[in-house]
Structure 1
Amino acid sequence: MDMLEGKKVVTANCQSFHVNRVLKTAKIIAYYFTASWVNHPDLLEKLKAVYEEGKRRHSGMEVIYVSADTEEKLFTKHFKEHGPWYSIPFGNTLAEVLRWRYNITCMPQIVVVRKDGLIVTRRGTRELEELDIDVLVTWTDYIQ
């Protein structure tokens, strides 16, 4: 969480929260790297299902939407349509820093990390596609 420490995230209805509050009970963070021009509805539906199941099971997983959009209108529309999770605010350089840190060269990509920053997987997209809802067990097995 070191990169997020002291930062803010937003919800789809534009509410802003300190990330420390949002991630207080989180054990793993799934960074969902995408943009408005990325069309991958099957992956999105699977991620939503895993997120909802994680909430139901109190798994300690939180999703952070990291957009590569360069127009705020496109970012806002896409984020509102694509998830019940939190996002790095539009225009915040943290989105670029996260893309660089996790070497994101194509989208969509999911990188899962423990709250202490240890990488659980850089292949979250592939794992989600292959394992579907069972990926939740795979990802949360890394929680100590």
Structure 2
Amino acid sequence: MSELLAGVKLMDQDLEPVDPEVLKGKVVGLYFSAGWCPPCRQFTPKLKRFYEEIKKTHPEFEVIFVSRDKESQDLNEYFAEHMGSWLAIPFGEPKIQELLAQYEVKTIPSMRIIKPNGDVVVQDARTEIQEKGSDPEALWEEWLAFYE
């Protein structure tokens, strides 16, 4: 994962910088969302519950919030107040536009599970979490079968 995000600044829930090297060896979900988006506000709590459940037994899972917010303050508030304890790409980082294009994100919320080299393992993780997220462990195992 560090290859895909090399040189990109990441931040934690406290809006403090985080080195992308922390993603080494992690299964990463890119979460494309925004605070102004009603469907995002409906899905984010589900993702947060799923993330917290998976992290209990699989610390190798990480989510990165890729914001579509229109202002830095909007991103920071939405991230700090509504997201899980995952990471985010700061507002204005050019990599956001690259990721949107690379993963052909047309609508939000959207989520991709990706390999360290950036290949997509799960194209529509959002729908999978909504439909199968009540059994996080089974869904995790399903994802890993594609990951390997």
TM-score by length of 1: 0.89
Q: Secondary structure at the match of 1:89?
A: coil
Per-residue CA shift, 1:67-92, capped at 9, x if unaligned? Answer: 01121111111111222110001110
Gaps of 5+ in 1: none
SS at match of 1:13: coil
1:1-144 equivalences under 5 Å are 1=1, 2-20=3-21, 22-26=22-26, 28-40=27-39, 41-58=41-58, 60-83=60-83, 84-132=85-133, 133=136, 134-144=138-148
Rounded Cα–Cα distance in structure 2 between residues aligned with 1:79 and 1:63: 12
Gaps of 5+ in 2: none
Q: In the superposition, relative to structure 1, how do residues 135 and 25 fare at CA in structure 2: closer, same or farther (>3 Å)?
A: same
In the alignment of these two chains, the number of paired residues is 142
Instruction: Tell me the distance in 1 between the aligned counterparts of 2:16 and 2:68.
Output: 20
> CA contact under 8 A between 1:43 and 1:128: conserved in structure 2?
no
Q: How far has the Cα of 1:10 moved from its partner?
A: 0.2
CA distance in 2, matches of 1:59, 1:138: 17
What root-mean-square deviation, in Å, do the aligned CA atoms of Structure 1 and Structure 2 show?
1.6
Q: Hey, what's the Cα distance between the residues in 1 that align with 2:147 and 2:113?
A: 11
CA contact (8 A) 1:67 1:95 kept: yes
1:39-93, Cα deviation, whole Å (9 max, x unpaired): 2344222211221122111252110000011211111111112221100011101
